[in-house]
Amino acid sequence: MERTTVLITGCSSGIGLGLAARLAADPARRFKVYATMRDLAKGERLLERLGGCCPDTLELLQLDVTDPCSLAAAAQRVQGQRLDVLVCNAGVGLMGPLETCSDQAMKTLFDVNLFGAVRTIQAFLPAMKSRRAGRIIVSSSIGGLQGLPFNAVYCASKFAVEGLCESLAIVLRPFNIHLTLVECGPVHTSFLANLQRPDPEGSEMRGLDAETQGLYRRYLGHCQSIFRDTAQEVEEVLPVFLEAIGSPCPPLRCASTQLLAPLWRLRLSSPDGSEYVRAMHDFVFGSSETGGDQP
């Protein structure tokens, strides 16, 4: 049986690592996986998951989505192979009051989350179009569907990814190329530990007004409770990606969690946004009227 060829970005940890390991270890050996990462030295974690050796169903590739030369080299390596599935999973985070976000931090975030996805799709899309077949899966976020406090720049990058993919999906329809966004919520990965965020007691916060400082501290406490009580494990999220890979006609959007579904429905039912803003504020910071913390 001919194998399905899959290339995944961001495989050094988290969802990318888990997905690459799951596909490469498929008992029926249905997949050939190109697991890519910026630093190949971090590929040892993936190999450990697979028993310490690299099976013939897996190949590690260096790929930095911010570097066009790196992307070109990866595309050249895959050239001649029929790439059936492209998974754009590389991403970074940025949290904190907007006043503390530097120009460089914001540019880096967009360079990875948005322009990195654009470059990756550009590199592999022409071959899919010429074959008139393929699918593209993009790791998105519930932060690409609704604004989240103290994640303004991160949400902006994910909103942009959502617009990019929705627009592109329309054009790709006659080419038989399916594009799917997987909107994840809190997941137990190194993402939260690695994202840039100011220490609430650090120097970056000194020039900020006291009320915003207080809200930020409360938000960090809210995040801790959300991750403690509701965050998913990577293994719980992988079936959504596997369904997008295996389904004959996958949808444009798949959610890995229903955590904020009530707020999302409120956002749709109240188009002017005022009800959503109030409900999200009360969910995170508590209601001044009721003292509750639920939407």
Q: Tens digit of pLDDT for each residue in 35-60? A: 999 999 999 999 999 987 778 999 99
Mean pLDDT within 254-265:
88
pLDDT at 100 over 60: yes
Length of the chain equals: 295
Q: How far apart are CA 259 and CA 282, in angstroms?
A: 15
Backbone angles phi, psi at 286, to 5 degrees: 90, 150
pLDDT at 292 over 50: no
Q: How far apart are CA 70 and CA 119, in angstroms?
A: 11
Mean pLDDT within 156-181:
98
105-118: per-residue pLDDT in tens?
A: 999 999 999 999 99
187-207: per-residue pLDDT in tens?
A: 988 777 778 888 888 888 888
- Residue 153 annotated as part of some ligand binding site: no
Q: How far apart are CA 183 and CA 180, in angstroms?
A: 10
> Taking the domains of the chain in order of start, what are their residue ranges?
4-216+233-262
Superfamily for 4-216+233-262?
NAD(P)-binding Rossmann-like Domain (3.40.50.720)
Quick one: angle between helices 103-113 and 115-131, nearest 10?
A: 20
pTM over 0.85? The answer is yes
- Residue 27 annotated as part of some ligand binding site: yes
Q: What's the confidence (pLDDT) of residue 211?
A: 95
pLDDT at 80 over 90: no
Angle at 66 between CA 103 and CA 47, to 5 degrees: 125
Note whether 66 and 115 are within 8 A (CB). yes
- The token pair at 208 is 């900020």
Query: How far is Cα of residue 275 from the mean position of the Cα atoms in its chain?
Result: 27
pLDDT at 165 over 60: yes
Alpha-carbon torsion, ordered 77, 79, 85, 90, to 10 deg: 40
The mean pLDDT value of the chain amounts to: 92
Alpha-carbon torsion, ordered 219, 163, 138, 65, to 10 deg: -90
Q: What's the confidence (pLDDT) of residue 143?
A: 95
Q: CA end-to-end span of the chain, whole Å?
A: 50
- Residue 292 annotated as part of some ligand binding site: no
Q: Are strands 177-184 and 253-255 parallel, antiparallel or unpaired?
A: parallel
- Residue 234 annotated as part of some ligand binding site: no
pLDDT at 288 over 70: no
- Residue 269 annotated as part of some ligand binding site: no
Which of 154, 216, 219, 276 is catalytic? The answer is 154
Mean pLDDT within 254-270:
88
User: Quick check: is 219 catalytic?
Assistant: no
